[in-house]
């Protein structure tokens, strides 16, 4: 069902220096946004990256596209290492790697017409094309994403949120990329529009054989979109599994709590929900807890969890979890 | 047994803009009963927030409200700002999606919560802090003393929202209006805040109006639900009737378009049944039913004749030409 290995990320770390304290010698503390993440992605696959605000999921997405420089680790794209690649060589790879942001209007230049916006990647990457050729490609792409090609001369503010997201998608797709990182692409949209965009993304994937990295905090959308899911907590992966396994047999207590917390649009089921609500807020990534980073909020935490950090271990087919007590979940 | 506490009749909200008049809410009538949790569902621009901003005299300067909103025998829309100030924050309170803008940045949490009691209940500066601490403790906010010494920016998003709820509950209001209270929060924090609101519903007599676009949140908390589209109510029913037997094609479309964690609706290979098109521009409303251009069950007359909102079986009210709309 999925094809060749296209992306292989291993032990990726992205640390940002943050100045703490004041005076003449403020000390610098590393904010470990991404702290040792490994995963692979196959052609045609959709990998979901899920976690709460501040868990590092967007930084991970940007690091994969080489938009932030990783502190250490490796990113192999089609067998080529991206982390040490020269700028010019990297630019060449960018054609294949595209990004769609959450806020559709903010990611479009208000002073460009949507025709210009969608054509811009073509101008950058295939300057040899004639403008007539570009115009034709833009119009084809517009109708492909559900925008009327007559609207090329309009400006972003004339469009609704859902249409702006279609424009962003058209811009990302025009170079026929192989991987698109979708960073919360439907979170800002109304429910009825959200469904349209999800369907569009799936159709494009089927047509072009694209791979997606789908960053989201919405588990219902992830379940619908993704083949495989990584659950992140404070810069680390706590669980990774094929989508059905993750929702049917979650192993990590954090995953279990996340799934439990999603409100179900069904009054009887929602009110019959049992089990404790996950208490507390995620701790600051500047000062992550010792041992297992989830232990202060975990109902299963025991003495070991405070001192030793669990590593990802195989708990089933294609299913890994970083928890000492995962056996109690399955 | 159902005793109305807030009644809106023929409520309209209009904004004067350089491009003409925009009617955000049109001819809206509804009642809120004592102790009830009423859900208001709709998409951006459906008028769900403006309805309650109008009721509390909080519309933007270019907005005007018409009709009546009756609370304790008086029409809120006729009251002076001074009179409204004795009701707002005391008998009727409101919490917003963005808790940070609702809090004063340069006051410690304890002081700004205490101020509510001093202003509305005439408590002294020495008596207020204890009452605040009591409530915060009762709401099971961890480390209450420490939190009350903090400034809003020092609190996490979920904690701020809980502080907003605490502030709204200090005077034991008759009505709490919660406008997208959990939309900006992470799912685990949302669950905590919903748990808090659920406890409030169980243990106090406060009526709650929950404005949201999230049908999951409605399913857990509300007794009755009102669905709005393009400034009008299109359907209203008890929560179970609405979820298990939706009649209006828009309500059905909304329920069907949600990806779900449970059941097989959200199959990875399957498509979601999206509602085609987009909500109408309020400045350029279609004649007839506002939903007609997107409706799966549209008939010829839907484009010319606006369906009136009529009482159906039980508690249901429906604005659709399809009889029973099935």
- The sign one gets for the Cα dihedral B304, B305, B309, B313 is negative
Q: In 3D, which of B258, B252, B222 has the Cα closest to residue B240? A: B222
pLDDT given for residue A26 in this prediction: 77
- Residue-by-residue DSSP string for A120-186: HHHHHH-TTS-HHHHHHHHHHHHHHTT--GGGGG--GGGS-HHHHHHHHHHHHHTT--SEEEEESTT
Which candidate from B190, B253, B266 shows the least CB-CB separation from A224?
B266
Taking only the tens place, the pLDDT of each residue in A315-325 is 999 999 999 99
All residues of chain B having their beta carbon less than 8 Å from the beta carbon of residue A219 are 187, 261
Q: In sequence order, what are the residues at sequence separation of 6 or more whose Cβ sits closer than 8 angstroms to the Cβ of residue A329?
A: A249, A250, A251, A252, A253, A256, A321, A323
Q: Do A264 and B261 touch (CB under 8 A)?
A: yes
Q: Take residue A132 and report the two structure tokens written for it.
A: 């007539």
Tell me, yes or no, whether A214 lies in a domain.
Answer: yes
Taking only the tens place, the pLDDT of each residue in A28-46 is 889 999 999 999 999 999 9
Residue A199 has pLDDT above 60, yes or no: yes
Tell me, yes or no, whether A32 lies in a domain.
Answer: yes
- Smallest CA–CA distance, residue A273 to chain B, in Å, is 9
CB burial readout B238-264, b (16+ within 10 A) else e: ebebbbeebbbbbbbbbbbbbbbbeee
Tell me, yes or no, whether A269 lies in a domain.
Answer: yes
| Measured distance CA(B273)–CA(A223) in Å, rounded | 16
In B, residues 62-121, which contact A (CB 8 Å cutoff)?
Answer: none
B154 vs A: CB within 8 A? no
Return the DSSP state at B181: T
**Strand pairing of A97-100 and A179-183?**
parallel
- Ramachandran angles phi, psi of A242, nearest 5°: -60, 150
- Smallest CA–CA distance, residue A86 to chain B, in Å, is 38
- Smallest CA–CA distance, residue B295 to chain A, in Å, is 12
Laid out side by side, the sheet with A5-20 consists of A27-42, A5-20, A72-77, A80-81
Greater confidence (B271 vs B34) lies with: B34
B199 vs A: CB within 8 A? no
All residues of chain A having their beta carbon less than 8 Å from the beta carbon of residue B261 are 219-220, 223, 247, 259, 262, 264
Average pLDDT of chain B is 90
What is the separation, in whole angstroms, between the first and last Cα of chain B? 31
All residues of chain A having their beta carbon less than 8 Å from the beta carbon of residue B39 are none
- Residue-by-residue DSSP string for B127-163: THHHHHHHHHHHTT-SSHHHHHTS-GGGS-HHHHHHH
Residue B314 has pLDDT above 90, yes or no: no
Which candidate from A199, A226, A261 shows the least CB-CB separation from B190?
A261
- The sign one gets for the Cα dihedral A223, A225, A228, A232 is negative
Q: Do B186 and A217 touch (CB under 8 A)?
A: yes
Averaged pLDDT, A13-30: 85
A264 vs B: CB within 8 A? yes
Tell me, yes or no, whether A215 lies in a domain.
Answer: yes
Interface A-B: count of C-beta contacts within 8 A: 138
Averaged pLDDT, B33-60: 94
Chain CA centroid to CA A208, Å: 20
Q: Are B198 and B185 in contact (CB under 8 A)?
A: no
Helical (H) or strand (E) element with A268:
helix A267-272
Average pLDDT of chain A is 92
Residues of chain A with pLDDT > 70: what percent? Answer: 99
What is the separation, in whole angstroms, between the first and last Cα of chain A? 27
Q: Take residue B142 and report the two structure tokens written for it.
A: 């961890």
Q: In sequence order, what are the residues at sequence separation of 6 or more whose Cβ sits closer than 8 angstroms to the Cβ of residue A203?
A: none
Taking only the tens place, the pLDDT of each residue in B107-118 is 999 999 999 999
A23 vs B: CB within 8 A? no
Residue B63 has pLDDT above 70, yes or no: yes
Averaged pLDDT, A177-202: 92
Q: In sequence order, what are the residues at sequence separation of 6 or more whose Cβ sits closer than 8 angstroms to the Cβ of residue A150?
A: none
All residues of chain A having their beta carbon less than 8 Å from the beta carbon of residue B187 are 52, 217-219, 258, 261-262
Cα-trace Rg, chain B: 21
| Measured distance CA(A4)–CA(A43) in Å, rounded | 5
A205 vs B: CB within 8 A? no
Q: Do A277 and B195 touch (CB under 8 A)?
A: yes
Averaged pLDDT, A43-61: 93
Provide the total of helices (H) and of strands (E) in chain B, helices listed first.
Answer: 11, 12
Averaged pLDDT, B222-240: 96
- Exposed/middle/buried for A14, CB within 10 Å: 0-12, 13-18, 19+? buried
Which candidate from B188, B219, B266 shows the least CB-CB separation from A52?
B188
* Residue B269 pLDDT class (50, 70, 90 cuts): low
Averaged pLDDT, B182-193: 87
Q: How many Cα atoms are found within 13 Å in the side-chain-facing hemisphere of B106?
A: 0
Which candidate from A223, A258, A259 shows the least CB-CB separation from B259?
A223
How many residues make up chain A in this entry?
330
Helical (H) or strand (E) element with B276:
none
Tell me, yes or no, whether A70 lies in a domain.
Answer: yes
All residues of chain B having their beta carbon less than 8 Å from the beta carbon of residue A271 are 219-220
Residues of chain B with pLDDT > 70: what percent? Answer: 96
**Placement of tokens 């909080």 in the chain:** B58
Cα–Cα distances in angstroms (integers) from residue A267 to residues A256, A287, B197, B218, B307, in the given order:
21, 40, 16, 8, 29
| Measured distance CA(B196)–CA(B140) in Å, rounded | 9
- Ramachandran angles phi, psi of B54, nearest 5°: -65, -45
Alpha-helical segments (H) within B48-156: 48-55, 81-87, 99-102, 109-121, 128-138, 144-148
All residues of chain B having their beta carbon less than 8 Å from the beta carbon of residue A162 are 278
pLDDT given for residue A2 in this prediction: 61
**Which range (A180-184, A279-283, B108-112, B113-117) has the least confidence?**
A279-283
| Measured distance CA(B139)–CA(B197) in Å, rounded | 10
B25 has which bridge partners? B13
Residue B267 has pLDDT above 90, yes or no: no
Q: Count up the domains in chain A and report the number.
A: 1
- Exposed/middle/buried for B224, CB within 10 Å: 0-12, 13-18, 19+? buried
Domain enclosing residue A239, as ranges:
5-21+28-96+177-328
Q: Are B298 and B292 in contact (CB under 8 A)?
A: yes
Q: Take residue B107 and report the two structure tokens written for it.
A: 């006051």
Which candidate from B44, B195, B272 shows the least CB-CB separation from A195?
B272
- Cα angle, residue B11 at apex, residues B9 and B15 outer, rounded to 5°: 170
A268 vs B: CB within 8 A? yes
| Measured distance CA(A213)–CA(A246) in Å, rounded | 17
Q: Do A195 and B214 touch (CB under 8 A)?
A: no
CB atoms within 10 A of CB A55: 25
Tell me, yes or no, whether A50 lies in a domain.
Answer: yes
In B, residues 272-291, which contact A (CB 8 Å cutoff)?
Answer: 272-276, 278-279
| Measured distance CA(A150)–CA(B37) in Å, rounded | 47
Averaged pLDDT, B247-262: 89
Cα nearest neighbour of A146 on chain B:
B277
Helical (H) or strand (E) element with B93:
strand B92-95
Tell me, yes or no, whether A249 lies in a domain.
Answer: yes
Domain CATH code at residue A275: 3.40.50.300
Q: In sequence order, what are the residues at sequence separation of 6 or more whose Cβ sits closer than 8 angstroms to the Cβ of residue A97?
A: A64, A65, A66, A77, A177, A178, A179, A180, A181
Q: Do B255 and A265 touch (CB under 8 A)?
A: yes
All residues of chain A having their beta carbon less than 8 Å from the beta carbon of residue B258 are 191, 195, 220, 265
| Measured distance CA(B68)–CA(A95) in Å, rounded | 59
| Measured distance CA(A217)–CA(B99) in Å, rounded | 20
pLDDT given for residue B265 in this prediction: 42
Residue B272 has pLDDT above 90, yes or no: no
Q: Are A229 and A47 in contact (CB under 8 A)?
A: yes
| Measured distance CA(B302)–CA(B287) in Å, rounded | 9
Which candidate from A190, A258, A265 shows the least CB-CB separation from B243?
A265
Tell me, yes or no, whether A301 lies in a domain.
Answer: yes
Q: Are B133 and B148 in contact (CB under 8 A)?
A: yes
């Amino acid at each position: 069902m999925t094809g060749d290995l296209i992306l292989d990320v291993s032990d990726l770390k992205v640390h940002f220096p943050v100045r703490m304290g004041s005076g003449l010698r403020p000390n610098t503390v590393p904010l470990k946004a991404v702290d040792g993440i490994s995963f692979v992605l196959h052609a045609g696959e959709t990998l979901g990256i899920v976690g709460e605000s501040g868990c590092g999921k967007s930084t991970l997405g940007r690091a994969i596209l080489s938009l932030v420089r990783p502190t250490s680790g490796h990113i192999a794209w089609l067998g080529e290492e991206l982390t040490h690649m020269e700028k010019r060589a990297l630019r060449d790879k960018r054609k294949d790697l595209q990004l769609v942001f959450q806020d559709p209007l903010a990611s479009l230049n208000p002073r460009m017409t949507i025709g210009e916006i969608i054509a811009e990647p073509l101008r950058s990457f295939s300057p040899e094309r004639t403008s007539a050729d570009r115009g034709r490609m833009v119009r084809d792409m517009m109708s492909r994403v559900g925008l009327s090609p007559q609207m090329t001369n309009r400006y972003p503010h004339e469009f609704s949120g859902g249409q702006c997201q279609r424009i962003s998608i058209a811009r990302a797709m025009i170079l026929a990329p192989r991987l698109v990182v979708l960073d919360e692409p439907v979170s800002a949209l109304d429910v009825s529009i959200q469904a349209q965009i999800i369907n569009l993304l799936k159709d494009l994937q089927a047509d072009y054989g694209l791979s997606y990295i789908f960053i989201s905090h919405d588990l219902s959308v992830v379940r619908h979109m993704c083949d495989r899911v990584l659950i992140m907590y404070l810069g680390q992966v706590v669980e990774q599994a094929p989508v059905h396994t993750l929702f049917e047999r979650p192993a990590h207590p954090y995953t279990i709590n996340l799934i439990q917390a999603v409100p179900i649009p069904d009054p009887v089921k929602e009110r019959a929900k049992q089990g404790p609500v996950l208490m507390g807020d995620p701790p600051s990534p500047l000062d992550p807890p010792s041992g297992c980073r989830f232990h202060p909020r975990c109902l299963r935490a025991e003495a070991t969890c405070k001192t030793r950090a669990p590593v990802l271990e195989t708990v089933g087919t294609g299913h890994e979890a970083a928890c000492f007590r995962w056996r109690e979940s399955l | 047994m159902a005793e109305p506490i807030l009644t809106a009749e023929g409520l309209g909200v209009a904004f004067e803009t350089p491009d003409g008049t925009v009617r955000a809410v049109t001819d809206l009538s509804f009642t809120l009963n004592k102790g009830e949790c009423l859900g208001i569902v709709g998409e951006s621009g459906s008028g769900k927030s403006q309805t309650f901003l109008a009721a509390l005299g909080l519309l933007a300067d270019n907005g005007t409200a018409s009709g009546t909103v009756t609370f304790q025998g008086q029409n809120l829309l006729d009251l002076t700002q001074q009179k409204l100030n004795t009701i707002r924050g005391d008998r009727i309170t409101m919490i917003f999606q963005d808790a940070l803008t609702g809090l004063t940045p340069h006051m410690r949490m304890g002081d700004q919560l205490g101020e509510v009691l001093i202003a509305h209940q005439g408590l002294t500066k020495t008596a207020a802090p204890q009452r605040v601490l009591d409530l915060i403790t009762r709401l099971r906010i961890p480390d209450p003393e420490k939190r009350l010494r903090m400034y809003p920016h020092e609190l996490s998003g979920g904690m701020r929202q809980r502080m907003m709820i605490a502030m709204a509950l200090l005077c034991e209001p008759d009505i709490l209006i919660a406008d997208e209270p959990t939309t900006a929060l992470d799912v685990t924090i949302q669950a905590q805040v919903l748990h808090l609101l659920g406890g409030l519903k169980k243990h106090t007599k406060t009526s709650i109006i929950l404005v949201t676009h999230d049908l999951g949140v409605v399913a857990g908390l509300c007794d009755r639900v009102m669905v709005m589209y393009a400034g009008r109510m299109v359907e209203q029913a008890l929560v179970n009737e609405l979820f298990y037997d939706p009649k209006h094609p828009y309500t059905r479309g909304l329920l069907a378009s949600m990806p779900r964690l449970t059941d097989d609706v959200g199959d990875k290979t399957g498509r979601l049944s999206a509602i085609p098109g987009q909500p109408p521009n309020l400045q350029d409303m279609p004649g007839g039913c506002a939903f007609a251009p997107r409706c799966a069950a549209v008939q010829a007359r839907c484009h010319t004749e606006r369906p009136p909102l009529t009482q159906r079986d039980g508690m249901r009210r429906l604005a659709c030409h399809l009889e029973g709309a099935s």
